[in-house]
Chains A and B, each alone.
Chain A
Amino acid sequence: MSAKLNALNSDSYIDVSQYRDQHFKGNRYEQEKLLKQSNTLYVGNLSFYTTEEQVHELFSKSGDVKRIVIGLDKVKKTACGFCFVEYYVRSGAENAMRFINGTRLDDRIIRTDWDAGFKEGRQYGRGKSGGQVRDEYRQDYDPARGGYGKLAQQHRPTEARNTF
């Protein structure tokens, strides 16, 4: 019965997703607990050119932002399309999940998800080439994320030679 009644007061946008950080130091139970009480969001699908200032302006609309950590390419140390946004209180993060997730920043639909909390080292991409894993394998051309995916780039040089 309570399940039906809860449907009348649904808040599904703040639910935790299926994603779990494989590099998390601790067991699954600890990770769940941290996610459920976290004030920090992971933000993905950013343009490489999106600045901390733009992120701050947008995410301040749901609450006071404590800190932003821009994700970096491990090799180049330049922005590689994701960031963490930490709020002073959880309600700021919840409202971001409800009202900023799935809207546009820098003309791109961005995605937010709960994060267990920023730790030094987590600001780096985990792809082989230094950026994010998703940019290793994608096939499409995305000028805001370095063009073709890294794997696809390796196949490209033959084409370039044929053009003048």
Chain B
Amino acid sequence: FSLVYSSRSARLLPEKLTVYTTLVGLLNARNYNFGGEFVEAMIRQLKETLKNNLYNEAVYLVRFLSDLVNCHVIAAPSMVAMFENFVSVTQEEDVPQVRSDWFVYVVLSCLPWVGKELYEKKDVEMDRLLSQIEGYLKGRVKTHVPMLQVWTAEKPHPQEEYLDCLWAQIQKLKKDRWQERHILRPYIAFDSVLCEALQHNLPPFTPPGHMPDAQYPMPRVVFRMFDYTDAPEGPVMPGSHSVERFVIEENLHCIIQTHWKERKTCAAQLLSYPGKNKIPLNYHIVEVIFGELFQLPSPPHIDVMYTTLLIELCKLQPGSLPQVLAQATEMLYMRLDTMNTTCIDRLINWFSHHLSNFQFRWSWDDWSDCLAVDLDKPKPKFVKEVLEKCMRLSYHQRIVDIVPPTFSALIPAEPIFVYKYADESSSSLPGYPVSITVGNAIKNRASNEEILTILKEVPNPNQEDDDDEGESFNPLKIDVFLQTLLHLAAKSFSHSFSALGKFHEILKNLTDTDEGKLHILKVVYEAWKNHPQMIAVLVDKMVRTQVVDCAAVANWLFSQDMAHEFTRLFIWEILHSTIRKMDKHVQKIQQELEEAKDKLEKQQHKRDMDKASEDEEGQLEEQIERLQEKVESAQSEQKNLFLVIFQRFIMLLTEHLVRCETGSVDISTPWYKNCIERLQQIFLMHHVTIQQYMGTLENLLFTAELDHHILAVYQQFCALQL
């Protein structure tokens, strides 16, 4: 029992590692065989986790093993041998850099726990090991780093690549003669018992070879926002290259990893971190949480978890944590100019949701510097987007009430419908007469046929007089019908959804062509431009009910008509939501295909026994063929969607770069920063899907002729999985 329990605990409570290793050490001192079996069980588990791509778990297992050296369970030389085997992976050829990265990371990350002991026993071998690691680190490709940094600026805190930072920390630890004072080491108290124990040798462990489908952890950048100058009173924050900093951050990340589903427990565990009196714990906690929230490509857990966790922490430490959080928010605001756009998105969402739990209380006046610059600059833009999100969680007047009058330019528009055919003043519009008729028809529950007949009366501004009566695209028809319908249904989301559902047939009829699809989106925007939330949910419904397709949404968002909204958050939320829907659609059909194939296999086993099942088999084979076609068609649609998006980006960016070059103007406008980082965002948020299309992307779009600014984004993305 204790074997399983301890090893499970090692996996699940890594922040309490040394408690469990001490326990194992004491058991081993009493019973040598127990120790042997335990080590064997851990090695088996290690092999399993590596086989199953559970690299984060594997790190904890190796760390546990290395701490068992401190507890006299494992002999130091055999641990060094295992580390040597790990580091020898750096000699392998033709393997992804992320593979050898991981093995080096494991070794380095164990040294805070066991470096001292290993150096005392095997200093020559350890020196050689570290020298090998140093050589490897010097030769690493680091093209990926800019894509993962939260800020582009080096000041006040450089955003270091994680292996570089850890190496610096280990170097410093070595210089300090491996004196590490932060980790709780219960085994020291039991030294007299433990030093009598017989040690085991680790069996020789060959790292499993590289498999093509292996998914090594992605590289990351170490998030730092605080240093010793930020915690005004109390204990000093350990320096960025101190090993204490590494251990504290590791343990806090572990606590979150263990307890993220239970926010009260998670908050309590974070706040009861052992050794908390010697460190500015609140600052560490806030830094680690924001580090995860802003992590690129994506946070380890769902964004909303971090909001709720911070609220729990504020509840448990009402006298201190809210102040640290406010300080952090202020710092993040000050550095918006160089913050990655994706991270700004997450900050907007976090801050507005947080405020909605605290009656929107904030010292907005402290941020009045944002009123002195152009509205498209990062600070006013941030405040504007935050207020818009705050409004979505409350109502317009509330926002007016909570900000000082000087902020009026940043207050979102009142989310009201813009009805083109509202009253007599619009009676000169060509669509006005029919809008009245259609409106009445809808109110009187006319049938779809009747309404379509009425719509035939709408003049077509595109049509030639001698054109045949073919169903050519009539933008005014779409305009009249949809404006009127949406106006009648404007009361709530449910009303609008109901309307879209009821008149689905008509909408499909009107959007038969690509132009029709594009135009319907345009009309929705014009009607609801003051209510981006409504636009988003309507577009979502229209994609799900196949009134428009995903490519139409992409083309619409990149169209000239939407250029003035291009940097607004809601545009990108719609785009990413559309890409996700496409992704889920492909996955769904692929799953249906797999299920049908499984069914067929089962059927084939029955075949010999039952004549009637032959027919069923035939039916299944037909179904599989149909599903196969569906899958191919869906995958083709998905590929096309990404091609459209990337093409549009390339066009827009190239235009801007050329214009700046010919005008000898600096390319780095706020628009450009936003656009190039949005392109990065597409790669980062959908990297799994995009990997499939690398070949096409490289041959068709991201070729050597492309401006190097744009090509750099592509190259950084490729470097993420090298």
- Of A8-16, A26-34, A130-138, A156-164, which stretch is located at the interface? A8-16
Q: Mark A26-64, 1 if CB is under 8 A from B, else 0.
A: 000000000000000000000000011110111001101
B131 at the interface (CB under 8 A from A): no
* Complex alpha-carbon distance, A104 and B263, angstroms: 15
Residue B492 lies at the interface, judged by CB distance under 8 Å to chain A: yes
Most central of A9, A53, A68, A105 by chain B CB within 10 Å: A53
Given A52-B492, A56-B493: A12 in contact with B392 (beta carbons within 8 A) = no
Separation of A98 and B264 alpha carbons in the complex (Å): 10
| Neighbouring A residues of B534 by C-beta, 8 Å | 53
> Using an 8 Å CB-CB cutoff, how does the interface string of B466-496 with A read, 1 for contact, 0 for none?
0000000000000000000000000011100
Given contacts A53-B493, A107-B359, contact A8 B304 (CB under 8 A): no
- Total number of A residues with any Cβ neighbor in B under 8 Å: 32
Contacts of A54 in B (CB 8 A): 392-395
- Decide if A5 touches B5 in the complex (CB within 8 Å): yes
A58–B307 CA distance with the chains assembled, in angstroms: 12
Known pairs A52-B493, A103-B308; A58 contacts B393 (CB<8 A): yes
B357 interface hit (Cβ, 8 Å): yes
Number of CB contacts from chain A to chain B under 8 A: 84
| Inter-chain contacts of B258 with A (CB < 8 A) | 8
Known: A1-B5, A8-B9. A56 touches B261 (CB 8 A): no
Q: Are B393 and A11 in contact (CB under 8 A)?
A: no
Q: B494–A12 contact, CB under 8 A?
A: no
How far is it, in angstroms, between the C-alpha of A62 and the C-alpha of B393 when the chains are bound?
15
Q: A141 on the interface (CB 8 Å rule)? A: no
Cβ of B304 and Cβ of A9 under 8 Å apart?
A: no
Shortest distance between the CB of A118 and any CB in chain B (Å): 12
- How far is the CB of B412 from the nearest CB of chain A, in Å? 13
- What residues on B are CB-neighbors of A61 within 8 Å? 303-304, 307, 349, 353
Q: How far is the CA of A30 from the CA of B79 in the complex (A)?
A: 56
**Do residues B1 and A13 form an inter-chain contact, with CB atoms below 8 A?**
no
Task: Scan residues 390-416 of chain B and give those whose CB is less than 8 A from a CB of chain A.
Answer: 392-395
Q: Are B392 and A99 in contact (CB under 8 A)?
A: no
- Compute how far the CA of A57 lies from the CA of B304 in the bound complex, rounded to whole angstroms: 12
We find that the number of chain B residues with CB closer than 8 angstroms to chain A is 36
Instruction: Report yes or no: B261 in contact with A62, Cβ–Cβ below 8 A.
Output: no
Say yes or no: A13-B394 contact (C-beta < 8 A), given A8-B8, A53-B493: no
Cβ-defined partner of B12 (8 Å) among A8, A12, A53, A69? A8
- How far apart are B354's CB and chain A's nearest CB, in angstroms? 10
Pair B533/A99 contact, Cβ less than 8 Å: no
Cross-chain contact A13 with B262 (CB below 8 angstroms): yes
Residue picked from B9, B261, B359, B395, most chain A C-beta under 10 Å: B261
Which residues of the other chain, B, contact A116 by a CB distance below 8 angstroms? none
- Chain B residues in 8 Å Cβ range of A11: 261-262
- Determine if A95 is an interface residue (Cβ-Cβ < 8 Å): yes
A62–B302 CB distance below 8 A:
yes
Contact B302 A56 (CB under 8 A): no
Hey, which chain B residues are within 8 Å of A52, CB to CB?
492-494
Complex contacts, B265 vs chain A, CB 8 Å? 10
The complex places the Cα of A1 from the Cα of B1 at a distance, in Å, of 8
**B311 at the A interface (CB under 8 A):** yes
CB of B581 to closest CB in A, whole Å: 8
B356 contacts partner chain A, Cβ-Cβ < 8 Å = yes
Residues of B within 8 A of A10 (CB): 261-262, 265
Contacts of B494 in A (CB 8 A): 52, 68-70
Q: Is the CB of B304 within 8 A of A100?
A: yes
Whole-angstrom distance between the alpha carbons of A5 and B359 in the complex? 41
**Given known A11-B262, A56-B537, A106-B394, contact A99–B493 (CB-CB < 8 A):** no
**A96–B307 CA distance with the chains assembled, in angstroms:** 13
B305 contacts partner chain A, Cβ-Cβ < 8 Å: yes
- Bound state CA distance, A64 and B584, in angstroms? 12
Please measure, in the bound complex, the distance between the C-alpha atom of A104 and the C-alpha atom of B5, giving whole angstroms.
39
Nearest B-chain residue to A59, judged by Cβ: B304
Which chain A residue lies CB-closest to B540?
A: A64
Q: Which of B304, B349, B537 makes the CB contact (< 8 A) with A99?
A: B304
Q: Is A4 an interface residue, CB under 8 A from the partner?
A: yes
Residue in A1, A12, A62, A107 whose Cβ sees the most chain B Cβ within 10 Å = A107
Query: Distance in Å from the Cβ of A70 to the closest Cβ of chain B?
Result: 8
Please name all residues of chain B whose beta carbon is closer than 8 Å to the beta carbon of A58 when the two chains form the complex.
353, 393
How far is it, in angstroms, between the C-alpha of A45 and the C-alpha of B392 when the chains are bound?
19
Q: Which residues of A contact B493 (CB under 8 A)?
A: 52-53, 56, 68
Q: How far is the CA of A25 from the CA of B415 in the complex (A)?
A: 41
A54 to chain B, nearest CB (A): 6
Task: Let me know if B13 is at the binding interface, CB within 8 A.
Answer: yes
Residue of A nearest to B356 (CB): A104
Whether the pair A8, B308 counts as a contact (CB closer than 8 A) is no
Which of B311, B349, B393 is in CB contact (< 8 Å) with A105?
A: B393
Complex formed: what's the CA distance from A13 to B311 in Å? Answer: 16
Q: When the two chains form their complex, are residues A57 and B533 in contact, meaning their CB atoms are under 8 A apart?
A: yes
Contacts of B533 in A (CB 8 A): 53, 56-57
Interface residue ranges of B296-339 to A (CB < 8 Å): 302-305, 307-308, 311
**A58–B353 CA distance with the chains assembled, in angstroms:** 8
- In this complex, the member of B308, B311, B359 whose beta carbon has the largest number of chain A beta carbons within 10 angstroms is B308
Nearest B residue to A100 by beta-carbon distance? B304
How many angstroms between the C-alpha atoms of A69 and B9 in the bound complex? 44
Nearest Cβ on chain B to A114's Cβ, whole angstroms = 16
Asked if A99 and B305 sit within 8 Å, CB to CB, the answer is yes
Q: In the complex, what distance in Å separates the CA atom of A11 from the CA atom of B607?
A: 45
Q: Give the docked Cα–Cα distance between A5 and B5 (Å).
A: 7
Q: Among the listed A1, A57, A99, which residue makes an inter-chain contact with B307, where contact means beta carbons less than 8 Å apart?
A: A99
Give the complex CA separation of A103 and B312 in angstroms.
Answer: 10
Known interface pairs A8-B13, A68-B493, A106-B394; A98-B263 also in contact (CB < 8 Å): yes
The 10 closest A-B pairs by CB, nearest first: A57-B392, A61-B304, A8-B12, A99-B308, A104-B357, A99-B304, A11-B261, A52-B492, A52-B493, A99-B305
Residue pairs across A and B with Cβ atoms less than 8 A apart, 8 shown, are A12-B262, A51-B492, A53-B392, A53-B533, A61-B353, A70-B494, A99-B263, A107-B359
13 A-B pairs besides A106-B393, A107-B359 with CB distance below 8 A are: A5-B8, A8-B9, A11-B261, A54-B395, A56-B537, A58-B353, A62-B304, A70-B494, A98-B261, A98-B305, A99-B308, A100-B304, A105-B393
List chain A positions with a Cβ less than 8 A from chain B: 1, 4-5, 8-14, 51-54, 56-58, 61-62, 64, 68-70, 95, 98-100, 103-107
